[in-house]
Amino acid sequence: MRLSILIVAIFIAFASNAQSLNDWENPEVISLNKQAPHATLMPYQSVELAKQFDPEQSVFFQSLNGVWKFKWSENTDNRPLDFHTPDFDASNWDDIEVPSNWQLKGYGIPIYTNIKHPFPAEPPKILIDNPVGSYLKTFTIPEDWSDKHVFIHFDGVQSAFYIWLNGHRIGYSQGSMTPAEFDLTPFIQTGENVLAVQVFRWSDGSYLEDQDFWRLSGIHRDVYLMATPKLHIRDYFVMTDLDETYTDATFWLRINLQNFGVERSKTGSLDIVLTDPDDNEVFAEKIPINQSLNYHQEIVLNIQRGMRNPLLWSAEHPHLYTLVLKLTDEANQISEVISSRVGFREVEIREAQLLVNGVAVDLKGTNRHELDPDHGRVVSRDLMIKDILLMKQHNINAVRTSHYPNHPTWYDLCDQYGIYLWDEANIESHELRQESVLAKDPAWEKAFLDRGRRMVDRDKNHPSVIVWSMGNETGLGPNHYAMEAMIREMDPSRPIHYEDHLDRGKGIERTPCYFDIISDMYSSPETMIHFHENYPDRPIILCEYVHAMGNSVGGLKDYWDIIYSHPRMQGAFVWDWVDQGLTKFTPDGEKYWAYGGDYGDEPNSGSFCLNGLVYPDRTTSPALREIHKIYQYVGFEPVDLDNGKIRIINRYNFTDLSYFNAEWEVVSEGEQIQQGNLTGLNILPKDTSDIIIPFSNSNFDPGREYFLNIEFRLPEDLAWASEGHLVAWEQYKITGTNVTLTEKDLRSLPKVKFQESSEAFTCSGKEFKISIDKQTGIISSFQFDKTDLIRSGPKLNFFRPPTENDLADWMGWRRWKKAGLDHMEHHLKGIELTDQQDKVVNIKASFDLKNEKGELLFNASLLYSVYGDGSIAIQATAEPTGIVETVAKVGLQMTLPELLDHATWYGAGPHETYPDRKASGKIDVYSKTVDELWENYIVPEENGNRSQVRWVKIDDGHKFGMRVQCDTLFNFSAYRYADQNIADAKHTFDLEKSGSITFNIDYLQNGLGTATCGPGCRPDYLLTARPVRFKVLLTPIEVNLGGF
C-alpha cells in the first residue's frame, strides 16, 4: 500500500513538473502535430512539368514567401496571445519580408558567439529575456484544391514556433535547419485564410544549436503550401548498388503511399519511369494499386531492377538520371507526378579506404556556413551557385555542411554540378561539450534522434551526400550511439562520421568503434601520421583544418604532401568557406563587414567568425588561390629537368588526362622563349607517366634564369567553368642563377661628389643627391632630378602588424611585443666615412637597437655605398643580444612619397605569398598599383607580401622611381598606412592614410601558420633571432627609359 502511494505521489509530482514546463523549455516536447519527415518532393500535374524540377510550375504549389505582418516582443511575457484569432487587427503591425532574420530588419541585434551561449547554460531553461516574433499572413487557395489535402511546409525556422490557422492551433516545432510540415486540411477554408506563426528566439533546442555562427532568428527559409491527392506518395527512397566490377547496378526503390483522406482510398496505379541524362527511357513499370487504404494507412512498395552499365555519378562526372513516379486514379487520370534526379553511385569503406564507385577518393574539402552578408541565413539560389562555381574552379570537390543540414536547394545543385557532401545533423552543444552533458542525458535522446532522422529522411536521395555526420562538438554519449544505430538502419548505404569520438589531445578513441572514419580537427601533419599508424582499419580525414582566419592557411602544402604519400589519408576540410561578416555602415556611410561585438552583443567571440576562403561578398582571397594549386588534380615531379623529363601524376579519380589541353612554355623574366602543346597524354585516373617536354636549352644565356611552365586547361565550356579555365599548373627553374646583385663595374660609372658638414654626409652627381644624417645615421634625403624618392629610412625592421594567427601563436606576437619589436628605436653609436673613391663613397653607421624600456635588442650596422650613377647599396647587419626570441621579419623599412604608387616586380605573384603559402605564386614579371597590392582583410593586419623577388621597381607610373635588388631572393610590400595604424585598427574604417607609402624590403619573412585554431607557424617557417647580414641596392630610374 505504501509503495502504491509512493508511486502515485511520484507520478503526480512528475506530471505537475511536466505541466509547468513551457514547450520551448522542455526537451521532451520537440514537436506537436508535425508531419513525419520525408524526402524533398513536389507533386506536379504532368510528367513534362515534373521533369523541369521547378515547383513554381506546379499547380499544387503556392509560395508564402513575401511580405507578412510582424510584431516583435522583447520577451515571452509581452508577446501577443490572441493575435491568431481571425478578427485580430494587425493594421498597426510592421511589414517584414519572409524569409528573413528579424535582427537584420531592425528587431533586436545579431549575436556572434562561438562556444558560450548568449544565456546562462542551464538546460533546458532559457534564463534571459526571450524575444518573440509574431507573424501574420493571409492567403487564398485555388478553387481546384477543394478536393486536395493541403500541407504547409517551412524549410527552416529558428529556433521554435507555434502555428495557427484561422484561429485553430495547428502545431509546434523546433529544430531550425530541417523542415517542419503541418496538415492544414481540417481548418483550411475557401476564401481568405489567416495564418499565424509565433517564433521564439531561444528554446531548449538552442542548446543543440550552439554552433560557431551568428545567432539569428526568424523564418529564414522558404514557406509554401503543397496540395496533394488523398492518396499521396508521401515518401520515396532510391538506392543504387554496383556489382563487384562497378559496372552494372541494381536500382532499388522504396515508395511510401499514404491515404490522407477520411474515406477509404480507391484503387489506381503507379507508373515508374527512369530516363537517362539524354532523356532516353531506361525502364518503365506500371504497378497496380489494388489495395484500398484506411485513413492515414500507409503501404510500402519495393521495386528492384538490374541496370546494365549505367553512367555513374561522381563529383567529376555528375551524370544524373530522372525518375518519374506517376500516380493515377481508377479512371486512369493523373493524381500527381513526383520526380527526382538519380545518381548511380556506390559509397563504401573497403580495405580501410573510403571508396566512391570502387575508387579511393581524396576529399579536397571545405566547411561551409550558410551566410549572405546582407540577409544573414537567407541564401539565394544564385549565391549558392556562385559558391559552387568558385569551389569547382578552385579544385574543391567536397563540402561539410557545418554544422547543420543546408537549404534543400543546395543539395540539388551539388547533385547537378558535382560536389561530395558530408551532411551534418543540426546538433552541437559546444559549451556543454566537455562533460558530454546532453549526449549522456536520456531526456535529450528524443531530440538527438529526431534531428538525425529528419536529416537522413530529407536528404537520402541525393547522390552528392556520401557521408552522414552526426553533428559537431557535443561530446560523446549514449544518445550518439542510439543515433548511429538508427541511421544505419535507415540507410545502410553510407558511412557515418562523428569527430568527437576521439579524445582530443590524446588521439585515442573514447568508445569502441561506432564510426567509420577517423576524424579530428586542426591536427598537425605529425598527428595525422599518428592516426594513420594507430588506426589501420579506417580512413583518416580531417573534418576541420587550416583555420582560414585573416591572412592564414600557412602550411597547406605540408598537409597534402603527407596525404598524397599515405593512401588511407583521404583529405581534409578547410575551416571554412566564407567570412561570416555582416554588412554594416559607419555613421559617415562607409561600408564594412561587422563581426562579434559590433552590435553591442555580449558575450561575443569577436572576429572569430571571419575564417573564410572568400570574403562575405564572395571576393576570393589569396588563400583560395593556394587551395587551387594544392588541391589540383594533376601532380608533377621532375625526373631529369635538363632533358625535359617530367613525371605526370593523374590525381583525378574518373578522368583521363587526355581530356585536357596541355601546354608548355619556357620563359625568362616575363618573356616567352619557347612554347608547345603536350599531346597524347593518355594517362588514366590514378596513374602516372613520364613524358619528355621538347624544349631546347642550346641558346640559353647563362646570365639569365629560365623557367618551364606546364598548364592543363579545359578544352570546352562546362557547367562550372569556361573553355580555357586553368585546372592545374607547375613551374620549374630549368637553368640559370637567381637574378641578384652583382658587383658594380666602377670603370663605367660617373664620379661621385662628396661633402661633409656637421649635420650630414652628402653624396651627389649629375642627377642625384643623397644625404645621410650624422645624428641618426639614417638617410635624410634621396633625390633624383630634384625629386624626392625617399621620405624617411631605410631602417632595420623586425616587426609586422600582427596577423590574427600571430596574435594567437605563442611564438609570435606575444614574444615580439614582450621584446618591444613594435617600438624598436635606432640609437646611433657612431658614423664614419670608411672609404672615399672617385666613383663610390662608403659610410658606416653603427646602432644600438633598443626597445622603449631601453633594453638592448640588437647590435646593428648599416654600411652605405653611394655610387656615381646615383645608386646606393646598403649592407645591413644585426646581432641579437638574447632578449629577442623570435621576429616577424628581417628587413629594411622606409617611407616614400605617395606618388610612388606603381610597382613592377620579378618574383612570385600575382597575389601575395609567404614562406608557408607560396606554392600558388608563379615566378614572372608583374605590375600593380600600391592599392592593388593591398589585401583588404576585414581585420587589418600584415598583408600584401610578395616573395621570391629578384627585383622590384617602385615609381610614379610615368616619370621617376627606383629599382631595388638584394643579394638574395627577397620580399617586398608597399601600402599607404603606417604599421602601428594597421596593428591598432580593428576595422577597415580605422585605417588612416599616412600621406606616404610604407615600403618594406625584407630579407626574411615569418610564415603565417594557422594558430587561431590549430598549429602555429611550423619550425621551417619560424624566424628565430639570429645574426643576419644582407645587402640591398637602390637605383633611381626614369620610367620612360625603362629603368635599366
The predicted model gives 198-207 an average pLDDT of 98
143 is known as an active-site residue: no
The three-state secondary structure class of 666 is strand
Please give, one letter per residue, the 3-state secondary structure of 666-689: EEECCEEEEEEEECCCCCCCCCEE
The predicted model gives 994-1005 an average pLDDT of 98
Residues contacting residue 232 through CB under 8 Å, at least 6 positions apart: 43, 149, 257, 258, 259, 260, 327, 336
Q: What single DSSP character describes residue 125?
A: B
- The domain limits of the chain are 16-32+64-228, 347-579+620-629, 632-735, 754-1041
CATH topology match: 632-735 vs 754-1041: no
pLDDT at 516: 94
The three-state secondary structure class of 514 is coil
Given a cut of 80, whether residue 7 has pLDDT beyond it is no
What nine digits make up the cell of 570? Answer: 583521404
* Per-residue pLDDT tens digits for 828-862: 999 999 999 999 999 999 999 999 999 999 999 99
CATH class of 754-1041: mainly beta
CA atoms of 590 and 806, how far apart (whole Å): 28
Whose cell is 528554446? That residue is: 203
- Distance (Å) of CA 49 to CA 39, 328, 334: 19, 16, 13
DSSP 908-977: EESS--BTTB-TTPEEEEEEEEHHHH----SS--S---EEEEEEEEEE-SSSEEEEEEEEEEEEEEEESS
Whose cell is 549572405? That residue is: 372
Whose cell is 523564418? That residue is: 219
CA atoms of 376 and 99, how far apart (whole Å): 10
Q: Is it true that domain 347-579+620-629 has CATH number 3.20.20.80?
A: yes
- Residue 439 burial by CB count (10 A; 0-12/13-18/19+): exposed, middle or buried? buried
* Residue 384, CA atoms < 13 Å, CB-side half-sphere: 21
- Distance (Å) of CA 899 to CA 569, 892, 906: 52, 20, 21
644 in Cβ contact with 652 (< 8 Å): no
Active-site option among 424, 484, 499, 544: 544
pLDDT at 506: 64
Q: Is the peptide bond before 880 cis (omega within 30 degrees of 0)?
A: no
pLDDT at 966: 96
Beta strands in 395-454 (DSSP E): 398-400, 420-424, 428-429
Active-site option among 25, 473, 804, 935: 473
Whose cell is 484500398? That residue is: 292
Given a cut of 50, whether residue 787 has pLDDT beyond it is yes
pLDDT at 500: 86
852 is known as an active-site residue: no
CA atoms of 751 and 764, how far apart (whole Å): 9
- Distance (Å) of CA 1003 to CA 2, 779, 890, 915, 924: 87, 19, 6, 12, 19
Average pLDDT, the chain: 95
Q: What single DSSP character describes residue 480?
A: H
664 in Cβ contact with 710 (< 8 Å): yes
Place 992 in a pLDDT band, splitting at 50, 70 and 90: very high
Share of the chain above pLDDT 90, in %: 91
Given a cut of 80, whether residue 432 has pLDDT beyond it is yes
pLDDT at 1043: 45
* Per-residue pLDDT tens digits for 307-341: 999 999 999 999 999 999 999 999 999 999 999 99
Integer-rounded Cα Rg, in Å, for the chain is: 33
- Residue 854 burial by CB count (10 A; 0-12/13-18/19+): exposed, middle or buried? exposed
pLDDT at 827: 98
Q: What single DSSP character describes residue 1041?
A: G
What nine digits make up the cell of 64? Answer: 508564402
* Per-residue pLDDT tens digits for 144-162: 999 999 999 999 999 999 9
CA atoms of 74 and 427, how far apart (whole Å): 27
Place 956 in a pLDDT band, splitting at 50, 70 and 90: very high
At 237, phi and psi to the nearest 5?
Answer: -145, 120
* Per-residue pLDDT tens digits for 442-484: 999 999 999 999 999 999 999 999 999 999 999 999 999 999 9
Helix (H) or strand (E) holding 266: none
754 in Cβ contact with 841 (< 8 Å): yes
CA atoms of 661 and 726, how far apart (whole Å): 10
Q: Is the peptide bond before 403 cis (omega within 30 degrees of 0)?
A: yes
Helix (H) or strand (E) holding 143: none
Helix count (H) and strand count (E) of the chain?
14, 62
* Per-residue pLDDT tens digits for 242-263: 999 999 999 999 999 999 988 8
326 bridge partner residues: 271, 337
Nearest partner of 670 among 413, 329, 905, 997, judged by Cα: 905
CA atoms of 896 and 790, how far apart (whole Å): 5
* Per-residue pLDDT tens digits for 658-696: 999 999 999 999 999 999 999 989 999 999 999 999 999
Q: What single DSSP character describes residue 458?
A: H
What nine digits make up the cell of 728? Answer: 592545374
The three-state secondary structure class of 416 is helix
CA atoms of 187 and 193, how far apart (whole Å): 9
At 860, phi and psi to the nearest 5?
Answer: -140, 165
What nine digits make up the cell of 568? Answer: 588511407
Q: What single DSSP character describes residue 205?
A: G
Q: Any idea which fold 16-32+64-228 has?
A: Jelly Rolls (2.60.120)
The predicted model gives 66-83 an average pLDDT of 98
Given a cut of 60, whether residue 9 has pLDDT beyond it is no
CA atoms of 885 and 814, how far apart (whole Å): 11
444 in Cβ contact with 205 (< 8 Å): no
Nearest partner of 307 among 342, 325, 283, judged by Cα: 283
Residues, the chain, total?
1044
Place 619 in a pLDDT band, splitting at 50, 70 and 90: very high
Q: What is the dihedral sign for C-alpha 989, 994, 997, 999?
A: negative
90 in Cβ contact with 72 (< 8 Å): no
CA atoms of 890 and 842, how far apart (whole Å): 23
Q: Any idea which fold 632-735 has?
A: Immunoglobulin-like (2.60.40)
